[in-house]
Structure 1
Amino acid sequence: MQTVKSRIVMQLKKTGWLTPVALLTGCKLSPAIPVIGAYYPCWLFCIIAGVILTLITRRVILRKYKMPAFAGVIYTALFALYSMLFWLVFF
């Protein structure tokens, strides 16, 4: 039983240097898009795209159905989904 624990400890010691390396990968400049000479953060464009796509989806939903139950929860979830997908696909 002792050899199994020592193998695990040795493996953790060998790969222990990977933790700081993985944590330092996010240290770079933030993504920004130049628009008419000014730099805007990319998350701002993701929020705008999320709002626009949510409004389009709302219009489609209201054409086919009446007002859905829990509309606030549904539209908030759609906004978050669209914003995060936009970030994932384009950035």
Structure 2
Amino acid sequence: MPTVKPSIVITLRKICWLMPALLLAGCSLSPSIPLIGAYYPGWLFCIIAGVIFTLITRRAVLRFFDAPAFSGVIYTALLAIYSMLFWLVFFNSL
């Protein structure tokens, strides 16, 4: 006895065939920076720049204010924000 498949099942099957193509579309070579004959990944420089700017921000904050509460969380968040901003500025290909 043949069964009739709902249209949503047919649509989901078509989407499932396209899913691997959509997921693999972002895979490409990572941005690398040649430095003294070796290629270093771009995220390494972004983290180093994030650490430097976090230390500069820490010094500026401690100069004018007392140590902030939850400083470990605050400085970790600043490190992440600065690193991601550097990635967007230098390696974003939009």
TM category, shorter? 0.7 to 0.9
TM-score of the pair, normalised by structure 2: 0.78
Aligned to 2:31: 31
Give 2:60's aligned residue.
60
The alpha-carbon distance between structure 1 residues 18 and 88, as it changes in their structure 2 partners (threshold 3 A), is farther
Query: In the alignment, residue 80 of structure 1 is paired with which amino acid?
Result: A
Shift of 1:40: 0.8
Q: Structure 1: which 4+ aligned runs deviate by more than 3 Å?
A: none
How far apart are residue 27 of structure 1 and its match? 3.0
Normalising by structure 1, report the TM-score: 0.80
C-alpha root-mean-square deviation of aligned residues, in Å? Answer: 2.0
Residue identity matched to 1:30: S
Matches of 2:70 and 2:24, distance apart in 1 = 41
Q: Which runs of 5+ in 1 are unaligned?
A: none
Gaps of 5+ in 2: none
Task: Render the CA deviation track for 1:12-67: whole Å, top value 9, x for unaligned.
Answer: 12222221012212432221001232211111101111101101111221122111
Moved more, 15-24 or 38-47: 15-24
Q: Could you tell me which amino acid in structure 1 is paired with residue 42 of structure 2? A: C
- Pairwise mapping of residues 2-41 of structure 1 onto structure 2 (< 5 A)? 6-41=6-41
More helix by share: 1
Residues matched between the structures, number: 88
Distance 1:66 1:27 in 2: 46
Q: Quick check: 6-15 or 44-53, which moved more? A: 6-15
Aligned residue in 2 for 1:83: 83
